[in-house]
């Protein structure tokens, strides 16, 4: 079984970003990360995004507010960042605390700064196969990984386990745009094993440790594991029981070290695309 490594894909994206930066004037494209509260998962994602983007030669500002911030105060702060001409891209860490209306932010965010594709305009672009918008970084990371390893998609049977707006659904659309035959599974899917066995490419994005095991896949299948879970030993793991895939899958991504590393590289690529568009350069395609 070939292990598909996120770091190798990230290195390729870094080259693309560096090449695009050569034709851009200073200042460096600038990302604003917006975090409300002290959720450890958000803090850890923020840390890895700051590290990756800085390595790529990009600028990052972290904006942090207390979890009990009043809605009006948060909207005011958000709007000033949204309108700030010195900020090229925004990453809002979610979910937001209950008193804040996520949907309002999704509608207000400038689609040109919306690097994680949360605005209805960017969602519609993903849905219609228009590459000028931004797809959610994780969904696009799966596509980047397949591209970097030259894994063909056209006409292949792809099963995606998970139908969330951040991963499963947009990924299904990106796969359709590349002419895959797509099956989407979720918690009400009657026969998950049959849908997984049918897949030539199986993407697990359910957030459930050990959900996918070797006996659920067909020989030669490619398994892309988006899940990030903590197992009973307190270690990070994906949705697939990785060891059980060996000898059955032809290729698989590990967790950690797979899709996660590519997600932050895609964020960097999106930032450069946003800065190029906003500053009137020709835009590298996402
Ligand atoms: P979510 O909870 O919003 O959605 C999970 C989806 O999986 C739902 O559609 C649900 O119906 C489906 N599902 C859950 N259990 C299932 C089961 N037993 N059988 C069939 N379907 C099932 O989660 P999300 O935000 O889409 O994230 C999914 C996973 O991906 C999580 O582990 C998350 O941490 C991870 N994630 C990883 C990255 C990355 O960069 N690698 C980024 C975002 C999310």
- Say how many Å lie between the CA of residue 162 and the centre of ligand 1: 5
Would you say residue 100 lies in a domain? Answer: yes
Q: Give the model confidence (pLDDT) of 204-213 as tens digits.
A: 999 999 999 9
- Say how many Å lie between the CA of residue 168 and the centre of ligand 1: 8
CATH of residue 95's domain is 3.40.50.10860
- Token readout for 119 is 């605005």
Q: Report which DSSP code applies to 29.
A: P
Whether the predicted pLDDT of 284 surpasses 70: no
- Say how many Å lie between the CA of residue 164 and the centre of ligand 1: 7
Same domain, yes or no: 77 and 192: no
Q: Give the model confidence (pLDDT) of 72-119 as tens digits.
A: 999 999 999 999 999 999 999 999 999 999 999 999 999 999 999 999
- Token readout for 193 is 């094993």
Q: Give the model confidence (pLDDT) of 52-70 as tens digits.
A: 999 999 999 999 999 999 9
From residue 168, alpha-carbon distances to 92, 200, 225, 276 in Å are: 19, 17, 12, 28
Q: Which residues line ligand 1 (CB under 6 A)?
A: 138, 161-164, 166-168, 185-187, 189, 192, 205-208, 211, 226-229, 259-260, 263
- Which of 206, 241, 259, 268 is the pocket-test mutation for ligand 1 (most atoms within 8 Å of CB)? 206
Looking at residue 280, what is its pLDDT? Answer: 83
Maximum Cα–Cα distance across the chain: 56
Would you say residue 20 lies in a domain? Answer: no
Q: Give the model confidence (pLDDT) of 145-197 as tens digits.
A: 999 999 999 999 999 999 999 999 999 999 999 999 999 999 999 999 999 99
Would you say residue 178 lies in a domain? Answer: yes
- Say how many Å lie between the CA of residue 135 and the centre of ligand 1: 17
- Say how many Å lie between the CA of residue 110 and the centre of ligand 1: 26
Would you say residue 9 lies in a domain? Answer: no
Would you say residue 283 lies in a domain? Answer: no
Same domain, yes or no: 106 and 199: no
pTM comes to 0.96
Would you say residue 266 lies in a domain? Answer: no
From residue 122, alpha-carbon distances to 7, 165, 259 in Å are: 27, 12, 22
- Residue where one domain finishes, among candidates 55, 77, 112: 112
CB 131 within 8 A of CB 102: no
Domain count, the chain: 2
- Say how many Å lie between the CA of residue 278 and the centre of ligand 1: 33
- Say how many Å lie between the CA of residue 244 and the centre of ligand 1: 20
Would you say residue 251 lies in a domain? Answer: yes
Would you say residue 278 lies in a domain? Answer: no
Q: Which atom of ligand 1 is nearest to the CA of 263?
A: 40
Looking at residue 281, what is its pLDDT? Answer: 60
CATH of residue 219's domain is 3.40.50.720
Same domain, yes or no: 146 and 97: no
Whether the predicted pLDDT of 286 surpasses 60: no
Whether the predicted pLDDT of 138 surpasses 50: yes
What residue owns the CA closest to ligand 1's atom 12?
Answer: 162
Q: Which atom of ligand 1 is nearest to the CA of 163?
A: 9
What residue owns the CA closest to ligand 1's atom 8?
Answer: 162
Chain-centre distance of CA 180, in angstroms? 19
Cα–Cα nearest to 115, from 140, 85, 95 = 140
Segments forming the whole domain that contains residue 250? 137-260
- Residue where one domain finishes, among candidates 112, 145, 167: 112
What residue owns the CA closest to ligand 1's atom 21?
Answer: 186
Cα–Cα nearest to 193, from 155, 173, 221 = 221
Whether the predicted pLDDT of 26 surpasses 90: no
The string of DSSP codes covering 189-234 is -S-HHHHHHT-SEEEE-S--TT-B-GGGS-TT-EEEE---EE-TTS
């Amino acid at each position: 079984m070939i292990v598909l490594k996120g770091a190798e894909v990230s290195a390729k994206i870094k080259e693309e970003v560096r090449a695009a930066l050569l034709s851009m004037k200073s200042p460096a494209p600038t990302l604003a990360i917006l975090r409300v509260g002290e959720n450890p998962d958000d803090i850890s994602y923020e840390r890895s995004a700051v590290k990756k983007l800085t390595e790529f030669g990009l600028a990052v500002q972290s904006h942090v507010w207390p979890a009990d911030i009043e809605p009006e105060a948060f909207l005011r702060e958000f709007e000033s960042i949204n309108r700030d001409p010195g900020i090229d891209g925004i990453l809002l860490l979610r979910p937001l605390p209950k008193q804040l209306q996520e949907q309002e932010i999704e509608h207000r965010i400038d689609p040109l700064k919306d690097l994680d594709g949360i605005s209805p305009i960017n969602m519609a672009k993903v849905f219609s196969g228009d590459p000028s918008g931004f797809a959610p970084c994780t969904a696009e990371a799966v596509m980047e990984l397949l591209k970097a390893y030259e894994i063909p998609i056209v006409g292949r049977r792809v099963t995606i386990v998970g139908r969330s707006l951040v991963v499963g659904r947009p990924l299904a659309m990106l796969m359709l745009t590349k002419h895959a035959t797509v099956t989407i599974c979720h918690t009400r899917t009657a026969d998950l094993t049959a849908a997984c066995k049918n897949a030539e490419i199986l993407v697990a994005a359910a957030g459930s440790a050990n959900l996918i095991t070797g006996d659920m896949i067909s020989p030669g299948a490619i398994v892309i594991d988006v899940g990030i879970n903590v197992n009973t030993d307190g270690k990070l793991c994906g949705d697939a029981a990785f060891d059980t895939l060996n000898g059955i899958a032809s290729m698989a991504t590990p967790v950690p070290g797979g899709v996660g590393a590519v997600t932050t590289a895609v964020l960097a690529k999106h930032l450069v695309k946003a800065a190029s568009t906003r500053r009137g350069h020709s835009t590298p395609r996402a």
